[in-house]
Chain A
Amino acid sequence: MKAVPFSLGLLSSLLLATTAAHAADTIKIGVPTSLTGPYVELGEEVKRGAQFAADEINAKGGIKGRKIELSFADEEGNPDAGRRVAEKLVRSGFRLLTGPISSAVGLAIGSQVEKWDALYISGINKSDRLTGEACNPRMFRANHSDSMDMAVIGPWLKTRKEANWVVMAADYAWGRDSAGAFSSTAGAGGKSVKSQFFAPLGTKDYAPYIQQIKDAKPEGMWVAIAGRDAVNFGIQAKQFGLMGSVFTVGQSFAVPSTIKGMGDVAEGVWGVVNYTATIDAPGNKAFVANWTKSFGKDPANFEAETYVAMLALFAAIEKAGTDEPGAVAKALSTISFDTPFYGKVTMRPADNQLLLPNYIGRVARVNGELKTVVEMTVPAADAVPPPSKDCKL
């Protein structure tokens, strides 16, 4: 059913590419994301989030009469593929980019956008490098960074009694950053991190890692694994009796898509929650209702975060009065706009980071369904650490 408008879109984008006169009529946003690979489910969330935002604004007549046109491409969870397909999108006129899942892919694309005269806004990538040493005037982040997540974990961790921790993380930019940030946060709070384990992306059998974690006899476990890997790790850790006996906190670990795969295993897992349908904000109920009408289920975190990145782009295009990436970037660096669930949010020009509130929650049964329940809300003023000194914009 959905394939028809998509192929029509593709066809029309081909037609538009050949007739330059028409090309100016739509605002083109390129979405390179994981259509295959270990993060394919998260890629589907990004697709839905981007499409929902575009449909919503197009139904209202677009931005100043111009409709939004999306083009999706497959970054395969791989930086090389990501850079290749993003460049292809840029060459065919889609110079406003969002969508990659892995931070490594986001960085590979974000580092090129100045050269391509394009713009990249992350809706998913958490690695601090995007707004740290790798920052540039054409790269933005509309979602929570690792250090933003840690800024809320720090105070919360002090309230926990568990003293000995281990870290289990994915072996690439994001997982490494997350592990490092958690270790220093835990250390600062008087907790000790006994060992850190890193498993390659796409690991099938986590048993050797699980056994080592069990041997370390921790009281708490920080897990930075996402997507299908998270489901594998969760299920196997439960089978070994690790989960359930060790207090588990995760980053992007127990989110709606992985909770569905893990089932009961996810119950009781704590985590930083960047978005959940249960957030108690005035606009959120209407947003969730609209979303459910389109997709038949609650919006998941990556869907909502991609939606925010799209809203940021729309607001900046409107303010700039053009979709020229240079002008949009200039407008985006100080943009302020309304979101249904975070309230009014503002971009920080010092490192191009959107200032957002953050939440801590846990997975619990609500009316028989596993959902993420917010336990602690931290307003944007306290949730965002100062900009990195490594970023000079």
Chain B
Amino acid sequence: MLIQCLNGLVYGALLFSLASGLALMFGLRRIVNFSHGALYMLGAYLGYSIATKLGFWPALVLSALALAGLGALLDAAVFRPLQDRDPLIILLVTFGLALIAEDVVQTIWGNDTHSLAMPALLAGIVELPGSSFPVYRIAIIAFGLLVAGGLSLWLKFSRVGLFVRAASFNPTLAAIQGVDTDRVSLMVVAVGAALAGASGVVAAPILSLAPSMAADILVDSFIVVVVGGLGSLTGAFITALILGQINVLGIVFAPEFTALLPFVIMVGVLIWKPTGLAGNRV
């Protein structure tokens, strides 16, 4: 059972590192970014191509950097010009971007399923009480915790973090106080995209690459963000971990309902607390 809980943590950690960017973007820009899954996918594919030349670690770093650049571009070219329009427009535009990204991936990398070899350093198996467990999966949990820790330190203690919190609390007031909200949000979207890209690379050795991966993961990460409370990092963290456990426990104890459970929980939470578990604070 311990092993199964660990398995839940692995998926939860992965979901969180992806959904954190989504939560940040919503908190700051009040946008629902349907292309977030596509950023994850692009990160994974870029990582795959880089890794075949340079190995896993450079792939992780370079792919995250490339996605940060793409995120900045996304903010400057899409989110900023559309920020005063109906939120539905951004939703549709990002959905369109996701479809384009999927086609681009199909054209460049084809429809074959690719898989990325895990770094040799983490390729082993560790003996835990009860069973053996792949070291790489433990590294994924560590990665999730690192992202959570890093983000909360950044938001709490850095000057930019203060601006981010201020701007997501009240963008107008923050702007009046001299916070350059456009610059702040450019940074936040870049960080969110970089995290999505890094999650893609980190997930690649266990979840193979295919053009459908963007759509697959997007639904789960939206559940995380919505149940956690739109824009809340803490809420997303808690929800991702719960969702990971529910996925595993569902498979073990009630396999017929596994696919249904996350949605039941989402509906339940939204009825009970429409703002999500952690309200709407960052």
Contact = CB atoms under 8 A, between A and B. Distances in A.
A236 B206 contact: yes
Contacts of A257: 112-113
Interface size bracket, A side: 35 or more
B92 interface: no
Interface in A202-230: 202, 204-205, 207-209, 211-212, 214-215, 227-228
Contact of B115 (A204, A214, A215, A231): A231
Interface residues of B, number: 35
B125 interface: yes
Given A211-B131, A239-B136, A240-B134, A204 B217 contact: yes
A36 B212 contact: yes
Interface in A225-278: 227-228, 231-232, 235-236, 239-241, 257-258, 260-263
Given A200-B258, A207-B10, A207-B137, A232 B112 contact: no
A287 to B, nearest CB: 23
Nearest to B250: A208
B207 to A, nearest CB: 5
Contacts of A40: 111, 210-212
Nearest to B111: A40
B212 A211 contact: no
Contacts of A202: 212, 216
Interface string B4-20: 10011011000000000
A241 B132 contact: yes
Contact of A232 (B133, B134, B208): B208
Contacts of B54: none
Contact of A235 (B206, B216, B252, B258): B206
B110 to A, nearest CB: 8
Contacts of A209: 251
Interface in B90-125: 111-115, 118, 125
Interface in A181-209: 197-200, 202, 204-205, 207-209
Given A40-B212, A208-B251, A228-B208, A235 B131 contact: no
A204 B203 CA distance: 10
Contacts of B112: 41, 257, 260-261
Given A241-B132, A257-B113, A232 B252 contact: no
A44 B208 contact: no
A393 B269 CA distance: 53
Contacts of B7: 205, 207-208, 211
A211 B134 contact: no
A239 B216 contact: no
B131 A205 contact: no
Given A228-B210, A239-B137, 8 more contacts: A40-B211, A40-B212, A207-B137, A211-B131, A231-B208, A235-B208, A239-B206, A260-B112
Interface of B: 3-4, 7-8, 10-11, 111-115, 118, 125, 131-134, 136-137, 205-208, 210-212, 216-217, 247-248, 251-252, 255, 258-259
6 tightest Cβ-Cβ pairs between the two chains A and B: A261-B113, A208-B251, A207-B7, A239-B134, A231-B113, A208-B248
